[in-house]
Amino acid sequence: MTTSGAAGRVAPTRADPALAPTFSVPPGILDGLGPPVRPAGVLLGADPDGEPVAVTLVRPAPTRVVVLGGLYLARQVTLRAVGTGTRVVVVTGRPPVWDAVRRAGDAPDTGPHDPDDPAARVRVIGEPPADLAVPGGGSLLVVYDRGATARGPAPSRRPRQTTLVVLPSLVPAVSDLADDADLVLIQRLPPHEAELAGRLWRLTPAMTETLRTLPDRGIVVLGRNLWRRVDLVTGPRETAILGPVRRGD
C-alpha cells in the first residue's frame, strides 16, 4: 500500500531500495548497537511498525543529502557513516561542536590524527581543499555545516562522494538547495517552515501536519518517490559521544 502525494511524489510504506533499503534486525537489539550500522547502509531508526530503516548514504553516483533540523541529527548520521568505513570531511565555522565526532573517528590502532592529515578518517576544517578525492576511489562524505545561507556548496561530482548540507531552518533563500537534494532528512519544523515545505515538495495536508508535529526523536525521510516517518534510535556508546536523541543544537 502507498500513500500518494501531489504531482508525482509518492509516499510508500516501504523505502525506495535505491535510496533507503531496509533489512531484518530485531528491534529489541537496536539500543545495544553503537553506532548502529550494517552493510545495507546507515541505520537511522525504526518506522511506525518497528522495522529498522537504513539509508544508502554514499552511492556509485554523486549524491547530495540535506539535513533539515538540529545539529544532533547531522552529527549522528556522520558518525554512523564513519562506522561504515566512509571517510568524512566536515567544513564548518564552528569546529568545537564537531570535536566529539572527530575524536570518535580516530582508528583505535592508529591513535589520534592531525586534523589536517588527509589520511584522517574525520577531518574538521574551515574551508574545503581544492581536491577532495579519496585515494583508491574510496567513499567520501563532505559535510557542509554552514547554516541557512542563500549560497550552497557545489554538488558532488565524483562517484562514491556525497555532499551533506546541514540547514538549521527552511527559508526561501535555501529552498532550491533543499529541493535539489537526492535525500532530505527532516526534523520537526515550525508552522511557517512546514507550510513552505508543503509547497516546495507538494505535500498533502497530512504530510505537512506531520512535519509540524514530529516528536524530538522523529524525522521524515524524503526523496524522489519516497516519504517515510522514522523514530531515531541510539545506543549507550553513541549516547556517550553525542548525548541523548534530541531536536535541538
Residue 11: pLDDT band with limits 50, 70, 90: very low
Burial class (CB in 10 A: 0-12, 13-18, 19+), 243: middle
**pTM score, whole prediction:** 0.80
The position carrying cell 535505491 is: 18
Q: What's residue 249's pLDDT?
A: 74
Domain 2-242, CATH class in plain words: alpha beta
pLDDT digits (tens, 9 = 90+) for 186-197: 999 999 999 999
Q: What's residue 203's pLDDT?
A: 96
pLDDT digits (tens, 9 = 90+) for 206-237: 999 999 999 999 999 999 889 999 999 998 99
End-to-end Cα separation, the chain, in angstroms: 36
pLDDT at 101 over 70: yes
The secondary structure of residue 121, as a DSSP letter, is S
Mean pLDDT value of segment 99-122: 73
> CB within 8 A of 191, min separation 6: which ones?
212
Query: What does the domain layout of the chain look like in residue ranges?
Result: 2-242
